[in-house]
Amino acid sequence: MPIYISEDAFITLTLSAIETSTKYEASGLLLGYISGDIFYIQNTIPYQIAERKSDSVSVPRAKKKRMERVFDNYMKYRIIGEFHTHPEGNIELSESDKEFIRDRNYNLEIVVSIRKDECKSPWHYEKGVLSGSIDKYFIEIGCWRVKEQRVSKLTIRCPFAVGFDFVPPLKKKA
């Protein structure tokens, strides 16, 4: 079952990971829609009020509820999940991640793993995961769905990212 990530969502996911870098986790909402068994992520909104640690991120429940209420009345897309990052971690869900997403009202979780790696890798798919390099970071993006308390991995597709490679800026002439 595929999940499609738009250009805007891809940029926000990767920039959220880079902003908090390899020290702290980031978290946010996934906005989009579901058509049949296909998920479309149109945008992502990082939580600015999150309490970040190297191995967890939390958002006060009252602040989350406020965001959900606003998006229910404001946006053309609905909240269909959340994302969080794994700095210097792997792309797989931890046991606490699985427990957390089973307890929520959403049925989709994206994990963005980021680590420093000077080797450049073009954006590509491997085993349903989207991965590649930006600047000095290697990033992997994976997605899981919760249905009837079972967690299963989805296949990510992001037409914007595949073949996408950051070109160094032109040097200014002196």
Tokens 């970071």 belong to residue? 137
pLDDT score of 158:
94
| In a domain? residue 173 | no
Q: Which domain holds residue 153?
A: 2-157
Q: What is the token pair recorded at 152? A: 């299963």
Q: How many CB atoms lie within 10 A of CB 90?
A: 12
User: How many independent structural domains does the chain possess?
Assistant: 1
For residue 13, which amino acid is it?
A: L
Which pLDDT tens digits describe the chain residue by residue (174 residues)? 789 999 999 999 999 899 877 778 888 899 999 998 899 999 998 876 666 666 666 776 777 777 777 777 766 788 889 898 898 878 998 888 888 788 776 779 999 999 998 788 899 999 999 999 998 999 999 999 988 888 899 999 999 998 655 444 445 555
Stated pTM of the model: 0.83
Query: How far apart (Å, rounded) are the C-alpha atoms in residues 101 and 93?
Result: 10
Q: How many CB atoms lie within 10 A of CB 149?
A: 8
| In a domain? residue 58 | yes
Query: How far apart (Å, rounded) are the C-alpha atoms in residues 85 and 54?
Result: 10
| In a domain? residue 131 | yes
Q: What are phi and psi of 122, to 5 degrees?
A: -65, 155
| In a domain? residue 169 | no
pLDDT score of 129:
95
Give the HSE-up count for residue 96: Cα atoms under 13 Å, Cβ half-sphere: 6
